[in-house]
Structure 1
Amino acid sequence: MSAQESSRHFNEVQLVVFQLGKEYYGVDIHQVQEIIRFQSPTKVPGAPSFVEGVINLRGRVIPIIDLRKRFRLSEKEVTKDTRVIVVEVAPHTVGMVVDAVDEVLRISEDKIEPPSPLIASIQEEYIQGVGKLEDKLVIILDLQKVLSKEEKAKLEEIEENKEN
């Protein structure tokens, strides 16, 4: 194996893989702070429709985003598998409600393709790439683009109001 092939082999991305419906999504593990069981958030008047509310996570007010609503997918009841992935969406910490967390996965960068313009289930700008595994495809999300500047500003407003 040449040095170039060897270095390419070690360029891996580590993802937290979760489900929304039958689809698999992944986020960079370095952006994930923790994964918790779903807890009913406190509703916040005037919040965007995909913001379920806020929770108190060890003294910190965390906005909770329903990714199904954010990606305009059909709603689903909370189950025993429903989880909240607490992530960093600079400069905010937010919780993302997902149907289930599947696994932590290492995937070689050569198995990740840029997003196809044919992906219609969510807006293409949220997608960093698509990971090809033997038994499934994993849509890799760009968390920094899941929320617009205006939505991030609204989250900041929600956090400040709840802390006061």
Structure 2
Amino acid sequence: MTVAEKKDLKVIVFQLKDEEYAIEVDYVTSIEKMQKITRIPGVPSYIKGVMNLRGVIIPVVDLRSRFQLEEIDYEENTRILVLNKDGDEIGFIVDGANDVIDISSTDIEPTPEVVGGVKEEYLRGVVKMGDRLFTLLHLEKILPKVKD
């Protein structure tokens, strides 16, 4: 189902660097504070390892690293968005999770060719709400890349 086919979309807005991004809240199972991550040898550098979340082992990806943004030390506001897509759980490390909002498909505009250095293929569009602007991520494009 495309964004245009949906009337309204509920998204969680999170921060990476100086930009705000959004992902559909339907995929988000929880938002966790940073916790111990066990490194796994031989995986791409953007996969930080795995965490044990209430008895479930979940791979954790640093979205800054995945999007080739400068890495920073994790801070008090750093969060792990735990997502579930087709039964697979994965954690995304983000600089902060801001809020949950409803957007209309009319608020979504095509993605410009360059958006903060993040590859266009990962993006579904740009959402403009008043003076606020954030990028809607295309989870289906990010996850298959994480699994290879």
Q: Same fold (TM over 0.5)?
A: yes
**Counterpart for residue 62 of structure 1:** 58
Aligned: 1:152 with 2:144:
no
Is 1:90–1:144's contact at 8 Å kept on the other side of the alignment?
Answer: no
> SS of 1:110's equivalent?
helix
TM-score by length of 2: 0.90
Which ranges in structure 1 are unaligned for 5 or more consecutive residues?
A: 1-7, 154-164
User: Per-residue displacement from partner, 1:80-119 (whole Å, max 9, x unpaired)?
Assistant: 1000000124452100000000100111110101212233
Aligned-pair identity in percent equals 38
Which residue does the alignment assign to 1:3?
A: none
Higher strand share: 2
Which residue matches 1:160? none
Unaligned runs of 5+ in 2: none
Runs of 4+ in 1 over 6 A off after TM superposition: none
RMSD: 1.8
Residues 1:112 and 2:129 aligned together: no
Q: Which amino acid aligns with 1:52?
A: K
- CA deviations on 1:43-75 (whole Å, 9 max, x unpaired) are 001111101110011111100100000000001
Aligned residues: 144
Q: Partners of 2:44 and 2:23 in 1: how far apart? A: 23
- CA distance in 2: counterparts of 1:21 and 1:140, whole angstroms: 15
- Check whether the contact 2:19–2:116 (CA below 8 A) recurs between aligned residues: no
Residue number in structure 2 paired with 1:98 = 94
Which TM-score applies when normalising by structure 1?
A: 0.82
